[in-house]
Each structure stands twice: as C-alpha cells, then as structure tokens.
C-alpha cells in the first residue's frame, strides 16, 4: 500500500465541474470484490459492534455461538448470519461488514466495484500512540479493505443503482479524505450513469487523525449530493447502527430519502455531552431510529429482512432520466 500517494486530493469536480477521472484515472477500473471470509464471516464485526447499553457481546470459543448485546441470548452464528446478521432471539440488528452489506443488498453477481484504489495518506503526520500511517497499514491488513468506503454499481431486485457502503470495521467507518472522496465520486457516478444513489452508513463520524481535512469532507459530500440533485438525480441513505458525528451531520442526512434500520443509534454528539451541555435529562430512546422517525429526521424505518424489497419498491418510483 502506498500511503504517500496523494490520490485522495480534495475533490475538485463538484466545485469546478471538471470530470473526476482527471484526478482518479487509476481508480476507474472496476475490480472484483475480495472474498468475504468464506461461509463463516469473521466474528469481528458482530463481536465489536457497539454495545447498545444492555451489555456486550461475548465470543464463545470456536466462534459457533455468540451472545447478543441486546437480549444476552446465546445464539448460533450460522443462524444469525442466515437472518442477515440479526439476533435470532430478539431481532437485534448487528453492525455488518461492508462486503456483507453489499452481498445482502444487491442481486448476486451484479456488483462491480469502482474507485477501489483511492488510497488514504497521512498528510498531517499525525501521531497518536501509533502513527496514523502505521495504523492505516495495520487496519488495511486486518480488514482486507483499502479504506472505510466501498463504491460501485449493482442491481437491487433488478433495479440498477450506484451503491456506497461504509464499513465500521475500518477505523469505525470514520470519514477522512478517502471516504469523502468516494462518496463524492459515487454521486458523480450516479450523475454520469443517470442512476439512483443508495448509501449505507455505519460510522463514528469524522476521522480525527486527519484533522480539519476530515471536517472538509462534510461540505464536500453535501456539495456533491447537491450537484447530483440539481442534475435531477435521486439519493437514499440507509443509516445503520451506529451513524454518528460528522457523517450524520453531513451527507447521511441530506439525501432525498433517509431510511434507518431498527434500533440504530443516530446522532451527532453523544448523549452524555448533550446532557452536560443543556443540563436537562434526555428523553427515553433519544438518538434511536424510532425516536428520530417521530421527529422527522428519519423518513422511515425498514428492518434488514425487508430492506432489499423496500429499496427496490422505492427506487421503481424514481423516474428514468
Ligand atoms: Zn438478541
């Protein structure tokens, strides 16, 4: 991996109308998706899924069973996977890996990844306990991903779409330059191909290792979506658990339709910070999908088992361009 490559240069196409392939000619070639980890996807995502406050998942030796973070039931992993990574006892929606999400969303064999080679780099020489550049390499090795976002073309029940997915397993799905760039490129792809754009988010927000550059992605992604909208495009964002910080506060909330999975934590700052700031007790269910749909921040909640069908249904209403 070449972290010095400045391929995640600020996205200029939205601002000046130049085609993005001037910057990313190497990333235009669709590539084959890497295999998801065989018949038994790695337990990492489920086991590391953020606790919803009712307890943490615990891995049972052998990886055949796992404990649900919501109801504490011990569930059979294969059965949980067959139910699209939801708890067989209570229906809790586990955080999914990006590629698993792609595979359960699009029709088999239809996904064609784009912009795979956009590489992150450590412009600020950020040094935490581990230097950021090193952390990126370790995360790439651990996850098999280049970055936290996957973008490509696919079909949902026969409806062609541009799909963008954030993977929480890659540094908490945080948005740095590459994630911002890929979201913007997905918008451009949707515009060029005259296709609807479907995004899935799972993110802790802006990537602190990239400082102000990560915050700039909020404006960039919103501008890219606005550009798509002005060209007559249509976009949907499916916010999954958790979608927080700068991702909630930017592109995830400004698509034409905002869908959430049941129980998803969606918010900007954490509840403790808010409570300390406003010095008031927060209402029950605050920052959960069910609360936000009542307040109008989320348009509808769709269980994962119905997601494909509902997305296809909604997408068929989108007039052809
Ligand atoms: Zn459960």
Distance 292 CA to ligand 1 centre (A): 22
Say how many domains are in the chain.
2
pLDDT of residue 196: 98
pLDDT of residue 58: 55
For 12-27, write each residue's pLDDT tens digit.
333 333 333 333 333 3
Domain membership of residue 238 (yes or no) is: yes
Distance 89 CA to ligand 1 centre (A): 5
Q: Is the pLDDT of residue 205 over 90?
A: yes
Q: What is the mean pLDDT of residues 238-248?
A: 98
Pairing between β-strand 266-267 and β-strand 257-260 as defined by DSSP bridges: unpaired
Distance 144 CA to ligand 1 centre (A): 29
Distance 145 CA to ligand 1 centre (A): 29
Distance of alpha carbon 56 from alpha carbon 51, whole angstroms: 5
Distance of alpha carbon 321 from alpha carbon 308, whole angstroms: 22
Distance 87 CA to ligand 1 centre (A): 5
Quote the strand ranges of the chain, DSSP E: 65-67, 74-76, 112-114, 149-156, 159-166, 197-203, 235-244, 257-260, 266-267, 300-301
CATH code of the domain containing 107? 3.90.226.10
Domain membership of residue 7 (yes or no) is: no
Query: 65 to each of 62, 81, 83, how far by Cα in Å?
Result: 8, 11, 14
Domain membership of residue 10 (yes or no) is: no
Distance of alpha carbon 53 from alpha carbon 160, whole angstroms: 38
* Same domain as 125, residue 64: no
Domain membership of residue 6 (yes or no) is: no
**pLDDT band of 309, cuts 50, 70, 90:** very high
Domain membership of residue 1 (yes or no) is: no
Residue with tokens 């950020």: 126
Q: How many CA atoms lie within 13 Å of 121's alpha carbon, on the beta-carbon side?
A: 14
**Which residues, 6 or more positions from 82, have their beta carbon under 8 angstroms from its beta carbon?**
none
* Same domain as 110, residue 247: yes
Give the predicted TM-score (pTM) of the model: 0.82
* Nearest residue to 182 via CA among 152, 210, 145, 216: 152
Q: What is the mean pLDDT of residues 94-112?
A: 97
Distance 42 CA to ligand 1 centre (A): 19
* Same domain as 112, residue 68: no
Distance of alpha carbon 16 from alpha carbon 3, whole angstroms: 27
Q: Is 269 exposed, middle or buried (0-12, 13-18, 19+ CB in 10 A)?
A: middle
For 125-165, write each residue's pLDDT tens digit.
999 899 999 999 999 999 999 999 999 999 999 999 999 99
Distance 187 CA to ligand 1 centre (A): 36
Question: Where would I find the H helices in 33-161?
Answer: 44-48, 77-82, 98-105, 132-143
Query: What is the chain's mean pLDDT, rounded?
Result: 85
Note down the domain range covering 258. 95-315
Q: Is the pLDDT of residue 37 over 50?
A: no
CA 141 to chain centre: 19
* Nearest residue to 216 via CA among 263, 177, 248, 273: 177
For 46-80, write each residue's pLDDT tens digit.
434 444 433 345 555 568 999 999 999 999 999 99
For 251-288, write each residue's pLDDT tens digit.
999 999 999 999 999 999 988 899 999 999 999 999 99
């Amino acid at each position: 991996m070449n972290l010095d490559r400045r391929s995640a240069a600020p996205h200029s196409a939205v601002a000046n109308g130049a085609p993005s392939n001037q910057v990313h000619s190497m990333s235009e070639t669709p590539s084959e998706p890497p295999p998801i980890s065989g018949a038994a996807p790695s337990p990492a995502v489920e086991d590391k899924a953020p606790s919803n406050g009712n307890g943490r998942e615990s891995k049972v030796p052998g990886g055949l069973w796992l404990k649900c973070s919501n109801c504490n039931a011990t569930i059979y992993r294969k059965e949980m996977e067959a139910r699209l990574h939801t708890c067989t006892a209570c229906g809790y929606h586990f955080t999914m890996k990006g590629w698993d999400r792609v595979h359960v969303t699009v029709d088999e064999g239809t996904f064609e990844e784009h912009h795979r080679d956009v590489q992150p780099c450590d412009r600020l020489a950020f040094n935490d306990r581990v230097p950021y550049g090193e952390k990126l390499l370790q995360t790439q090795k651990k996850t098999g991903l280049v970055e936290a976002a996957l973008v490509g073309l696919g079909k949902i029940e026969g409806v062609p779409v541009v799909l963008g997915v954030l993977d929480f397993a890659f540094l908490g799905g945080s948005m740095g330059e590459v994630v911002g760039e890929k979201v913007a490129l997905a918008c451009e792809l949707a515009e060029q191909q005259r296709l609807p754009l479907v995004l899935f988010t799972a993110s802790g927000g802006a990537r602190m290792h990239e400082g102000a550059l990560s915050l700039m992605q909020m404006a960039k992604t919103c501008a890219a979506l606005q550009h798509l909208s002005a060209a007559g495009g249509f976009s949907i964002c499916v916010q999954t658990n958790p979608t927080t910080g700068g991702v909630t506060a930017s592109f995830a909330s400004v698509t034409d339709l905002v869908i959430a999975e049941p129980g998803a934590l969606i918010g900007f700052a954490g509840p403790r910070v808010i409570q300390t700031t406003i010095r008031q007790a927060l209402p029950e269910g605050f920052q959960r999908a069910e609360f936000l749909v009542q307040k109008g921040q989320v348009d509808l909640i769709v269980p994962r088992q119905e997601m494909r069908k509902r997305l296809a249904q909604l997408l068929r209403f989108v007039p052809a361009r």
